[in-house]
């Protein structure tokens, strides 16, 4: 074998190795491209799912906020109605005839006597003459109606004044309303 043949043989071998390396490089490039395309596809799907989740969370937050605002508006309106009803009731109680006020005061006094040994009562100054129970001292006080019953030592009292009874009723209804609306 001559030098030319050796050169030719080495050149052919180099071409074959180069061709083999190029084929391997092309295959590696295709594999990397496929892997990259698959990763890109998975990433896009993840981002699409994440975006859908973000949209759903935002939608739920907006719905919850709107529902809360609606409930708050209903509560405010009902509070106003309850307050108006209590104010109207107080006005009606204050405008009752003496005989009707006397009847109410007697009922309230009987209720207080079931709970306490009543020694004195505080009533509205116009109602002092309406309490005629013997052994019970009557004093005028700054209440719109009803009575406040006290024991002899004035350490225990039961407030059955119209103001207190109406305010307690109002608060009870508002609390019940809030519980129902904001469960």
Q: Give the span between the Cα atoms of 30 and 43, in whole angstroms.
A: 20
Domain that holds residue 143: 97-181
pLDDT by residue (tens digit) across 71-96? 889 888 988 998 999 899 989 988 88
Distance of CA 58 to the CA centre of its chain: 19
**Domain termination residue (choose one: 62, 95, 128):** 95
Same domain, 60 and 107: no
Q: Quickly state the pLDDT bin for 13 (edges 50, 70, 90).
A: confident
Same domain, 105 and 169: yes
Whether the model pTM is above 0.75: no
Q: Quickly state the pLDDT bin for 1 (edges 50, 70, 90).
A: low
Distance of CA 123 to the CA centre of its chain: 40
Same domain, 67 and 84: yes
Q: Which residues contact 1 (CB under 8 A, 6 or more apart)?
A: 9
Q: Do 83 and 129 form a contact (C-beta atoms < 8 A)? A: no
- Of 86, 52, 81, 75, the C-alpha closest to 162 is 86
Same domain, 51 and 88: yes
Q: Quickly state the pLDDT bin for 34 (edges 50, 70, 90).
A: very high
Q: How many domains does the chain have?
A: 2
Bridge partners of 20, per DSSP, are none
Give residue 133's pLDDT: 85
pLDDT by residue (tens digit) across 107-121? 999 999 999 999 999
**Domain termination residue (choose one: 63, 95, 127):** 95
Q: What is the CATH number of the domain that holds 124?
A: 3.30.2320.30
Same domain, 45 and 8: yes
Task: Let me know the angle formed at the C-alpha of 134 by 130 and 136, rounded to the nearest 5 degrees.
Answer: 75
């Amino acid at each position: 074998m001559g030098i030319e043949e050796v050169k030719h043989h080495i050149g052919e071998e180099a071409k074959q190795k180069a061709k083999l390396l190029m084929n391997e490089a092309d295959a590696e490039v295709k594999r990397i491209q496929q892997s990259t395309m698959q990763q890109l596809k998975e990433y896009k799907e993840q981002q699409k799912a994440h975006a859908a989740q973000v949209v759903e969370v935002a939608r739920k937050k907006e719905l919850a906020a709107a529902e809360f605002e609606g409930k708050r508006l209903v509560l405010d309106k009902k509070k106003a109605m309850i307050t108006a009803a209590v104010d109207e009731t107080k006005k009606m109680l204050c405008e009752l005839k003496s005989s009707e006020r006397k009847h109410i005061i007697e009922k309230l006094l009987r209720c207080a006597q079931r709970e306490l040994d009543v020694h004195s009562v505080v009533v509205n100054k116009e109602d002092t003459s309406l309490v005629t129970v013997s052994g019970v001292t009557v004093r005028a006080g700054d209440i719109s109606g009803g009575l406040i019953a006290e024991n002899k030592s004035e350490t225990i009292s039961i407030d059955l004044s119209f103001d207190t009874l109406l305010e307690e009723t109002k608060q009870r209804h508002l609390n019940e309303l809030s519980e129902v609306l904001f469960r």
